[in-house]
Amino acid sequence: MTTTQSQTEQSFRIQTPDAPPEAYDRASGDGATDQADVKTEEMLVNMGPQHPSTHGVLRVVLRTDGEMVLEAIPHIGYLHRCAEKIGENVAYFQYIPYTDRMDYLAGMNENWTFCLAAERLAGITLPRRAELIRIIICELNRVASHLVSFGTYGLDIGAFTPFLYAFREREYVLDLFEMVCGARLTYSYFTVGGSTHDLPDGYTDKIIEFLDYFEPKIPEYNDLLTYNHIFIKRTANVGVIPKQMAIDYALTGPVIRGSGIAYDLRRPDDASKRYGLYHEMDFDVITAKGEMGTLGDCWDRYIIRMREMVESCKIIRQAIKMLPAPEGVGNSAGCYRVKLPRNFKPEAGEVYVETENPRGILGFYLESQGGPIPYRCKARAATFCNLSVTTAVCKDVLLADVPAIIGSIDIVMGQVDR
Amino acid sequence: MPSTPEQYFKDLWSTIKSITIGLRITLKYMFSKSVTIDYPFEKLAFAPRFRGIHEFEADKCIACDQCAKSCPVDCIYIDKSAPRKIDKKTGKAAGGELLRYAIDYQKCMFCALCTEPCPTDCIHMGKNHDLSSYSRHEMIVEFAEIDKKGLRTPIPLWVERNAGTIEWVAKEKERLEKGELATTAADIPST
């Protein structure tokens, strides 16, 4: 542990002089030297847990010296609901509503991961239609989740307008979810062995209609926020996570791809980690190139999400083309659900499944002893691991950059605390 | 802070440029149609599968406890005097009396797991999303009691309050008082 830490610190220090002079000037306090007549002293500042820019109930204790943040320590646990322990007390299908409440912005993806773990435990393979329904719905959810991330990131930086545009489009996605499962936030749409309902009539046409409407909006967002000069000044060269640090802290999702590492479980290097039918889809894993400054800065992490929305739209269009005709419940290709006994009891064994969520890799570890409820249920939350890098990144940064850094990591406290 | 005057003016120029681009988009939407709904005065359209406050058909319920068993938060309370069975002639449940069927909406999380195992399809997710009340005990809805008044689902406070002023709310109240179901065939899972 100590060796990795010192390595990261070193690599972090090596990076700093390479950064353009603007970032360097910021770090030295705008030319203020020891001769300046203003004397500052260290102060502990509590940011949160009710701070609007901490994305929930995150409390960050900042050790500040004037405007400079010397150290930022995140304190978590304000939203802890014993979700893992609850999993050991309810049946497999009853736990699905609880997974919605972990990452409440991407409930469908969480449902999928848990259902996938239970299915792997019982050795169930899904019909083709069921798999494609999952891909369509989860990629829609990824779009909705990235829209929130993009909108609220603008809010953190001080741009209010993009937020309203992002939520307008998200509303259409939520309407689509309401049509398919009846809920707008806590979906519980997937169940062990498929999904609770088949897609309604004419649903795919509605998705295509939405995509046709939505895809031209992304360049509009880019005009509004991405290439806005003020936004670039606020995010480029801020909160740089070098490649090695990203690996050391086990970062996943857009955060690690923002550091230039193409790590996406939808396109795993190892075929045994494959899930769903993503290997049949044609899409690119987006990685950042450090266009506006240093590789791995806040702007890079932000642009990953914007570009991933385009890729998600591509995946949805392909999946809709591949969708077989509906056949009801059963095992043939067109079924949306495998018929399972109500008293679902997988054989004794353990399984660990990881999937790529909008915020990174979500893993579920399940252990069965042959009964109707899991013996052990554990979730590896992406944002929990991503949040751990905050202390390393928020070192010698300006106070106003801390919300920018935390926002770019895109945490959801429901998932961090579980 | 930019170090040179050239950089300063360059920054100034790009800031003005990007603000103009942003304002152009805002201006475009200023004159387009609004996407929001003036909610209490305009009716919200719900999808057929919308999961709102339950609608319960007490005459079909055989009090088999399947819904209570599948509830992850144990918020359904059922009590009966003797076994109930569906009478094939009338399609209604007969036998013992359904003493209590209550759902605690402080606990309920609208996951719709209770509607799936129901053998007689007597519990559905309704179309009401608003159940506010003045006290905690009002959050426990006694569906067996409500059924004696001919209702399938409780009448929310806002419906009673706004029925006199808003037209669609008056229609909604009429529908609720008649005991008509908002549930359609699409709500009932085909398992």
- Output Rg (C-alpha) for chain A, integer angstroms: 22
Does residue A56 come out as left (phi exceeding 0), alpha (psi in the -120 to 50 range) or beta?
left
Predicted confidence at residue B1, as pLDDT, reads 53
What is the average pLDDT across B21-50?
A: 85
Q: Write the CA distances from A367 to A79, A99, A146, A285, A379, integer angstroms.
A: 25, 17, 32, 32, 12
Size of interface A-B (CB pairs under 8 A): 87
Closest to B50 (Cβ–Cβ): which among A178, A229, A337? A178
Closest CA–CA distance from residue A22 to any residue of chain B (Å)? 7
Paired tokens of A338:
């495998």
What pLDDT, in 10s, does the model give residues A295-308? 888 888 899 999 99
Percent of chain A whose predicted confidence (pLDDT) is above 70: 90
A182 touching chain B per CB within 8 A: yes
Closest to B22 (Cβ–Cβ): which among A179, A228, A342? A228
B185 touching chain A per CB within 8 A: no
What pLDDT, in 10s, does the model give residues A132-176? 999 999 999 999 999 999 888 888 888 888 888 899 899 999 989
Contacts of B45 (CB under 8 A, 6+ apart): none
Name the β-bridge partners of A68: A65, A398
Q: Where is average pLDDT lowest: A13-17, A86-90, A304-308?
A: A13-17
Contacts of A342 (CB under 8 A, 6+ apart): B117
Q: Give the helix/strand (H/E) hosting B52.
A: none
What pLDDT, in 10s, does the model give residues B15-27? 898 888 888 888 8
Per domain, the residue ranges of chain A are 1-39, 82-393
Asked if B190's CB is within 8 angstroms of A90's CB, the reply is no
Closest to A161 (Cβ–Cβ): which among B22, B110, B191? B22
Paired tokens of A131:
């798999």
Residues of A in contact with B189 (CB under 8 A): 196-197
State the Cα–Cα distance between residues B104 and B139, nearest whole angstrom. Answer: 6
Closest to A196 (Cβ–Cβ): which among B19, B70, B189? B189
Burial of A41 (0-12, 13-18, 19+ CB in 10 A): exposed
- Does the pLDDT value for residue A2 go beyond 50? no
Pick the CATH number of A82-393 from 1.10.10.10, 3.40.920.10, 1.10.645.10, 3.40.50.2000: 1.10.645.10
Residues of B in contact with A231 (CB under 8 A): 18
ipTM here: 0.84
State the Cα–Cα distance between residues B183 and B191, nearest whole angstrom. Answer: 17
Residues 205-244 of A with CB under 8 A from B: 220, 223-224, 227-231, 233
Burial of B89 (0-12, 13-18, 19+ CB in 10 A): exposed
Contacts of B20 (CB under 8 A, 6+ apart): none
Per domain, the residue ranges of chain B are 1-32, 53-178
State the Cα–Cα distance between residues A109 and A181, nearest whole angstrom. Answer: 14
Contacts of A322 (CB under 8 A, 6+ apart): A128, A132, A277, A280
- Domain boundaries B53-178, corresponding CATH code: 3.30.70.3270
State the Cα–Cα distance between residues A238 and A397, nearest whole angstrom. Answer: 8
Asked if A228's CB is within 8 angstroms of B111's CB, the reply is no
